[in-house]
Amino acid sequence: MPSVRVITHGDLDGWVSGVLIRDFFTVKHSDIQFKIEYVGYRNVDHAVDVALSKSPDWLFITDISPVENHMLDKLNDRAQTEHVVLIDHHKTVKEKLMPFSWAVFNDAFSASLIVHAHFIEQGHYFLPELTHLAKLADVWDMWRLEDPLRNEAVSLNRLYHFLGYQYMDRIFPARGAISSDVLMKVLEQDENRFIERWIKNLKREEIQVDTQGRGYFFIISDQYISTLANEICNEFDIDYVMVYIPSQDILSLRSVGDRCDVSEIAKKYGGGGHKNAAGIQLGRRLFSEYNVCFHP
Ligand SMILES: [Mn+2]
């Protein structure tokens, strides 16, 4: 029985990437050992180590890359004898992944759409529902504001964060839950109220200025990070928002449009991401200690 292990990012894009990989293997093999793990930047290396020790026939890593360079060397060694596939789109890892033929990189699309294309190339047929799901994850994750699927993508992301991946795995592809108007309405109201409260309470005097003269807000929140930061950027004349996310111990940086490439700030402090969404894992460094040495 072939064994497949998947290590993927714990956000919507990572979850959908996993759904597509599972679909490919379960259609292809009637009997398969499939294990999927959802990770963040602080535990991805450990997860890769554990997965390698189990010697799966296939190892997929999607929407996230190992943090330490020696982990890439370990994967490269394994790729000589087993199937190793890494798919990422966070532009800060582009150069790191370049030397490896088993790594697929493309920063124009979400990981889910790259995974989708990867299997289509191998002759796989995805049900229209799954193709649609991959597109929604792309519209959300790549922050495609003008896309006609934008509202549906926002709803799906809300639902994903409300229910969590275990439950989403159980109900999908029972699409009924995704189109449950009552549930969506409640979630939307909750998010809107949360964001309105934030906007109302933020004061212009609290805008910080970094060493490059860029204005930013520093806030602490565990919820609705993307939409909250986006609304704040639109509401105030600032270049970016810095959000500390306590549950993940991450400093998240968000901007809108071309005003500020936050991935460059994140990179300077050992983090990574995209032009409009990047993050820094604080790890064992205490936030107060970090704040002192952090001058973006
Ligand atoms: Mn992604």
The domain boundary, picked from 150, 179, 209, lies at 150
Q: Is residue 42 very low, low, confident or very high in pLDDT (cuts 50, 70, 90)?
A: confident
C-alpha 192 to ligand 1 mean position (Å): 24
| Lookup: tokens for 172 | 């999908």
Which CATH number do you get for residue 248? 3.10.310.30
| Lookup: tokens for 100 | 């490896």
C-alpha 102 to ligand 1 mean position (Å): 19
Q: Is residue 180 very low, low, confident or very high in pLDDT (cuts 50, 70, 90)?
A: low
The kind and range of the H/E element at 277 are strand 277-281
Question: pLDDT at residue 289 above 80?
Answer: no
Question: Helix and strand tally (H, E) in the chain?
Answer: 11, 11
Q: What are 147-160's pLDDT values in tens digits?
A: 999 999 998 898 89
C-alpha 43 to ligand 1 mean position (Å): 17
Cis amide bond preceding 173, omega within 30 = yes
Residue 51, domain member (yes or no): yes
Work out the angle at residue 24's Cα, subtended by the Cα atoms of residues 23 and 30, and round it to the nearest 5 degrees.
85
C-alpha 64 to ligand 1 mean position (Å): 8
39 with 126, same domain: the answer is yes
Burial class (CB in 10 A: 0-12, 13-18, 19+), 271: buried
8 with 146, same domain: the answer is yes
Q: Write out the residue range of the structural domain in which residue 113 sits.
A: 3-150
Domain count, the chain: 2
111 with 214, same domain: the answer is no
> Looking at residue 145, what is its pLDDT?
87
Which CATH number do you get for residue 119? 3.90.1640.30
The kind and range of the H/E element at 114 are helix 111-121
Taking the C-alpha atoms of residue 46 and residue 85, their distance in angstroms, rounded to an integer, is 17
